[in-house]
Amino acid sequence: MTTRSKIIYTLTDEAPALATYSLLPVVKAFTASSDIAVETRDISLAGRILALFPEFLTDAQKQGDHLAELGALATTPEANIIKLPNISASVPQLKAAIKELQSQGYALPDYPDTGDSAEVRDIRSRYDKVKGSAVNPVLREGNSDRRAPLSVKNYARKHPHKMGAWAADSKSHVAHMSSGDFYGSEKAALIEANGSVKIELIGADGSTTVLKEKTSVLADEVLDCSVLSKKALRSFISAEIEDAKKQGVLFSVHLKATMMKVSDPIIFGQIVAEFYKSALDKHAAALQEAGFNLNNGIGDLYSSIKKLPADKQAEIEADIKAVYAERPALAMVNSDKGITNLHVPSDVIVDASMPAMIRDSGKMWNTAGELQDAKAVIPDRCYASIYQAVIEDCKANGAFNPTTMGSVPNVGLMAQKAEEYGSHDKTFQIQANGVVRVSDVNGKVLMEQQVEEGDIFRMCQTKDAPIQDWVKLAVNRARLSDTPAVFWLDPARAHDAEMIKKVEKYLKDHDTSGLDIRVLSPVEAIKFSLARIRDGKDTISVTGNVLRDYLTDLFPIMELGTSAKMLSIVPLMNGGGLFETGAGGSAPKHVQQLVEENFLRWDSLGEFLALAASLEHLGNTYNNPKALVLSKTLDEATGQFLDNDKSPARKVGGIDNRGSHFYLALYWAQALAAQTDDAALQAQFAPLAKALSDNEAKIVAELGAVQGKPAEIGGYYAPDKALTEKVMRPSETLNAALASLV
Ligand SMILES: NC(=O)C1=CN([C@@H]2O[C@H](COP(=O)(O)OP(=O)(O)OC[C@H]3O[C@@H](n4cnc5c(N)ncnc54)[C@H](OP(=O)(O)O)[C@@H]3O)[C@@H](O)[C@H]2O)C=CC1
Ligand SMILES: O=C(O)CCC(=O)C(=O)O
Ligand SMILES: [Mg+2]
């Protein structure tokens, strides 16, 4: 007898949420007889907003805080969570979601841009809890192991995606600052004993402002702090705008304004300010009156000026247009709709956008909808140089070849909000010139930074237990896959220098005999890894939190065409499992395509891989042999799925996400019918395998018949459940076959 064990499947946003309407019924039907409960929790942006404001909602509208519940679960050995990508909302997205919910009858307060009353501050601080990357850091109570399983790598070799050719004289390049950035100012401190630290600004006038009263610290953790100078940033941007114009390349900006939700919108805002300087300076007073916020992008200008008189609006719009004539051409997000790189801070996210540029011959889209060489502005030097190294490699050696290239899996440090991605509550835009001091409870100054008004100060924490776990994970991976592992750490950064000492120390806790484990700076590490992948060889990247994010889009996008095909496991430090699906995001473009032509090109391979890993974990932790049979057969089904190339096509006419789920169900049922480890499962699934295979043509036709026409799902952030279910489950024959199982 087994204990009834549970898998939590998360409900998120955009394309993955739509795909769930079709895939989850398959998962539930297949697991129902195996003593496995599959439950859902809503961590969508809309769901998280509703959970914030119970007093504004009717009883029927109220929603519990599922994210907090899962965050607590993630610290227990029982956790078994399948986490799909979710929206990390910028302010414009947050406002759009609020507006949509209000229109659906939820009496939520508006997001307050201005105002300082206690009530306004309370509302703003509640909304700020769902802003940016607010889900992943809560659930990620472990480090990450992201890789392309062999079957997926073999699939990519057999069915290579398109890679744009690279020209040796490509003008594309990365532009970064050479001083005044976070990289240049980083300081670090190793904490000796449990306690807390205080962050204060000592003004040049002698005044003291407490920036953060108390930050708890644990013995042996690494603290670091750094500053990005507003002045240096502005003069860097001004020079790069000139240079882009001179070279005739597109100007584009690549930040992580969603995950770095405090610092990067400010950097983005400064770039907007510099680019549109003449028009913004001229209309400064009117724009202030309209409530325009630079950090929300130039799109916010267009929506805020609607409040101004028509002639003023027209004047501002004309002056913005005139800017485009003087400035270099901007890289476009959507040239048909006139959406530029500087419209919204969440449209161009560095982890996905730089690899896409590299995949597309190093080019980005211009206003005519053509590809053109670009200057990719990544202001801070901490990680910018790795992309320049890839660009140089492609210029010298041409595009990478997916049929022959090796792989770069990643072991990433991320537990307990490690490094930059946990820095938001310790990041401040400085209000006056002076010195920021970080001191302990005895008043001993641990670190200090000279600052000027407008600079961004940030402090990060990296706990020791996660570092030890990360080193262990790296050694295990290197051993299991017999592959060299490289720690990407830069001795010139104060934080990394501390990390190198720890890595050297903790490697001694493991048997590393016969393993090739190195520590290289990011630029050396990427050069080493690139040379090896060109030779068809694999190299494990062992990185901190940011490079984990960047590399797990970069290499998969080059190797597999998309990071959606990645296996993405987070062994939680207290024994549970978090199974992320793919390594990419929630693909907003895909929703648009579904709504316009009832075609969803979302690839759920990441979900299939995560589910197999989750079932295996459940089988082992709850001694449930049926779960192990389900896992093994799901793996076989996924192999078959890849062999027969049943991934969604990109355009109407081929099978889409729903069709791909049908084939997974068919192959999974066939594998269950063929296995002999569990006779009951075999007997149960043989008729389903027969029904699905007998009706293959009919089901594919039913699924195909709906394509090519608009689909109505009744919302973007909070689609209507009944309408969406109808859209996502259009095959009566498939629905009836699945229903026969439960
Ligand atoms: N784990 C998480 O929760 C993550 C969340 N995000 C969030 O996702 C949102 C969008 O981010 P963005 O930077 O645009 O990156 P995305 O990864 O969502 O999208 C970039 C492009 O990648 C392709 N893609 C991604 N996933 C799939 C898939 N499963 N199947 C097929 N194609 C896929 C699509 O390209 P094409 O259409 O050309 O095929 C897509 O347009 C943001 O809110 C971001 O914060 C981002 C990363 C991780
Ligand atoms: O949490 C987020 O906003 C994005 C996460 C992400 O990009 C990743 O983990 O790869
Ligand atoms: Mg990412």
pLDDT in tens, 171-203: 999 999 999 999 999 999 999 999 999 999 999
Specify the residue with its C-alpha closest to ligand 1, atom 48. 585
Query: What's the sign of the alpha-carbon dihedral 391, 487, 401, 146?
Result: negative
158 lines ligand 1 (CB under 6 A): no
547 contacts 540 by C-beta, under 8 angstroms: no
Pocket-testing residue among 562, 660, 716, ligand 1, by greatest number of atoms within 8 A of Cβ: 562
pLDDT at 1: 41
Give the pLDDT band (50/70/90) at residue 114.
confident
Amino acid letter, 607: E
Taking each helix axis from N to C end, the angle separating 522-534 and 545-560, rounded to the nearest 10 degrees, works out to 20
Write out pLDDT tens, residues 39-59.
999 999 999 999 999 999 999
pLDDT surpasses 80 at 2: no
pLDDT at 4: 66
Average pLDDT over residues 708-720: 98
Atom index in ligand 1 nearest the CA of residue 88 equals 45
Average pLDDT over residues 669-676: 98
355 contacts 400 by C-beta, under 8 angstroms: no
Quote the Cα angle for 717-720-724, to 5°. 100
552 lines ligand 1 (CB under 6 A): no
Q: Output the CA torsion 319→321→324→329 (10° steps).
A: 160
Q: Across all residues in the chain, what is the average pLDDT?
A: 97
pLDDT at 3: 53
Specify the residue with its C-alpha closest to ligand 2, atom 1. 133
Distance 577 CA to ligand 1 centre (A): 23
87 lines ligand 1 (CB under 6 A): yes
pLDDT at 566: 96
pLDDT at 617: 98
- Other beta carbons within 10 Å of 417: 22
Q: Output the CA torsion 271→273→274→277 (10° steps).
A: 160
Specify the residue with its C-alpha closest to ligand 2, atom 10. 549
Quote the Cα angle for 369-373-376, to 5°. 105
pLDDT surpasses 90 at 579: yes
- CA 624/CA 616 separation, integer angstroms: 9
Distance 274 CA to ligand 1 centre (A): 29
Kindly list the strands in the beta sheet with 456-462, ordered across the sheet, starting from the edge strand earlier in the chain. 187-190, 222-228, 456-462, 427-429
pLDDT at 226: 98
Distance 289 CA to ligand 2 centre (A): 35
136 lines ligand 1 (CB under 6 A): yes
Pocket-testing residue among 258, 348, 410, ligand 2, by greatest number of atoms within 8 A of Cβ: 258
Query: For residue 84, which ligand has an atom nearest its CA?
Result: 1
- Other beta carbons within 10 Å of 657: 25
Amino acid letter, 24: L
pLDDT surpasses 70 at 338: yes
Give CA 586 to chain center in angstroms.
8
Average pLDDT over residues 558-581: 97
pLDDT surpasses 90 at 671: yes
Full 3-state SS string of 414-427? CCCCCHHHHCHHHE
Regarding beta strands 339-340 and 332-334, do their DSSP bridges make them parallel or antiparallel, or are they unpaired?
Answer: antiparallel
Atom index in ligand 1 nearest the CA of residue 352 equals 13
Average pLDDT over residues 521-532: 98
Specify the residue with its C-alpha closest to ligand 1, atom 40. 587
- Other beta carbons within 10 Å of 67: 23
pLDDT at 742: 79
Coil, strand or helix at 486: strand
Quote the Cα angle for 565-586-553, to 5°. 45
Q: Kindly provide the residue ranges of all beta strands, DSSP E only, lying in 529-647, ordered along the sequence.
A: 540-543, 567-571, 577-581
